């Protein structure tokens, strides 16, 4: 029986996920390297250090930006003298190559590693509707599913090997980037010929051209000029780099992926702190 959770990383995704996890009956201890007092969800226990969190948490969730941050967190966990932790669930997108050494190091310490990246953006994290792509122990998933339901609407067991979840997440983000890029190009052609953007979206969304960009990003983020999907351009560029790396290592076609990666590379250069939906602005200028 699991009695206590730890949560490391209270950023735009981590804080709302941790907040919703508090709906479970388990004790939740949280930690972040920056502004912890203001980030900690109400009702959680605040760890003064990562070592303190590790000493009181049986399962630790990690929500950090990339593989380097994940490695730093896990190395600090392994170096802690008093460890209650038995399982680590990484909600971050870090790629397969960054995942492999983490699995090896944790196996030596008899700590199981669950690769469980999430999708759904900040709004999904807030509304507890994010998707979890779980790879690792099916037994642990079954044991804590009710608690995961507190912050996720869709939980998929994608495989028993940690790392399979990373591949699934990279596939998802690649297709999301393709949708944003191709829809931007198409909408700009329509505008060039005096078509109305809202009308185009209404037609596309009852036709075969609909996708995640036409259904959500364009009507809710671009047409409104809010550009607030809360996923940074730099993070999408990072995920596309990871996707390309895996595709190349597996001998897969990458012609479309290279074009999309070039768009987002230019996007990060132009708008390093921008939202990934602002790729529309970047393509518009090209």
Over residues 49-76, the pLDDT tens digits come to: 999 999 999 999 999 999 999 999 999 9
In the chain, which residues fall in CATH 1.10.1040.10? Answer: 167-285
Predicted confidence at residue 25, as pLDDT, reads 85
In the chain, which residues fall in CATH 3.40.50.720? Answer: 4-161
Residues 2 and 110: their CA atoms lie apart, in Å, by 17
Q: CA angle, corner 44, sides to 42 and 50, nearest 5?
A: 130
Q: What is the DSSP string of 179-208?
A: HHHHHHHHHHHHHHTT--HHHHHHHHTTST
Q: How many CB atoms lie within 10 A of CB 85?
A: 22
Q: What's 4-161's CATH class?
A: alpha beta
Query: Which of 32-36, 80-84, 98-102 is least confident?
Result: 80-84
- Structure confidence by residue, pLDDT tens digits, 180-206: 999 999 999 999 999 999 999 999 999
Query: Exposed (0-12), middle (13-18) or buried (19+): which is 226, by Cβ within 10 Å?
Result: exposed
Q: How far is CA 28 from the centre of its chain?
A: 21
For residue 82, is pLDDT > 90? no
- Kindly report the average pLDDT of the chain as a whole number: 96
pTM of the shown model: 0.94
Residues 10 and 284: their CA atoms lie apart, in Å, by 34
- Structure confidence by residue, pLDDT tens digits, 134-166: 999 999 999 999 999 999 999 999 999 999 999
Annotation: CATH topology of 167-285: 1.10.1040
- Structure confidence by residue, pLDDT tens digits, 91-127: 999 999 999 999 999 999 999 999 999 999 999 999 9
For residue 1, is pLDDT > 80? no
Q: For residues 268 and 231, is the Cβ–Cβ distance under 8 A? A: no
């Amino acid at each position: 029986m699991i009695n206590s959770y730890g949560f490391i990383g209270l950023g735009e995704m981590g804080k709302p996920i941790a907040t919703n996890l508090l709906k479970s009956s388990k004790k939740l201890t949280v930690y972040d390297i920056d502004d912890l007092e203001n980030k900690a969800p109400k009702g959680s226990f605040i760890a003064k250090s990562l070592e303190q969190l590790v000493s009181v948490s049986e399962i630790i969730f990690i929500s950090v930006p990339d593989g380097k941050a994940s490695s730093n967190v896990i190395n600090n966990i392994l170096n802690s003298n008093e460890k209650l932790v038995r399982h680590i669930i990484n909600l971050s997108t870090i790629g397969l190559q960054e995942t492999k050494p983490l699995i090896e190091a944790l196996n030596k310490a008899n700590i199981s590693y669950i690769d469980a990246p999430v999708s759904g953006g900040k709004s999904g994290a807030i509304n507890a509707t994010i998707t979890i792509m779980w790879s690792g122990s099916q037994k642990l998933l079954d044991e804590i599913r009710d608690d995961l339901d507190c912050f996720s609407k869709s939980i998929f067991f994608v495989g028993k090997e940690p790392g399979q979840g990373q591949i699934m997440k990279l596939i998802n983000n690649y297709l999301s980037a393709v949708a944003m890029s191709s829809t931007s190009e198409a909408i700009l052609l329509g505008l060039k010929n005096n078509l109305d953007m809202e009308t185009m979206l209404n037609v596309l969304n009852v036709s075969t051209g609909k996708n995640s960009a036409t259904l959500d990003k364009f009507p809710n983020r671009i047409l409104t000029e809010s550009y607030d999907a809360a996923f940074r351009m730099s993070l999408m560029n990072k995920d596309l780099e990871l996707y390309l790396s895996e595709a190349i290592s597996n001998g897969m076609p990458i012609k479309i992926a290279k074009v999309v990666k070039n768009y987002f590379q230019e996007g990060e250069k132009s708008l390093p702190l921008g939202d990934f939906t602002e790729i529309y602005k970047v393509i518009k200028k090209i």
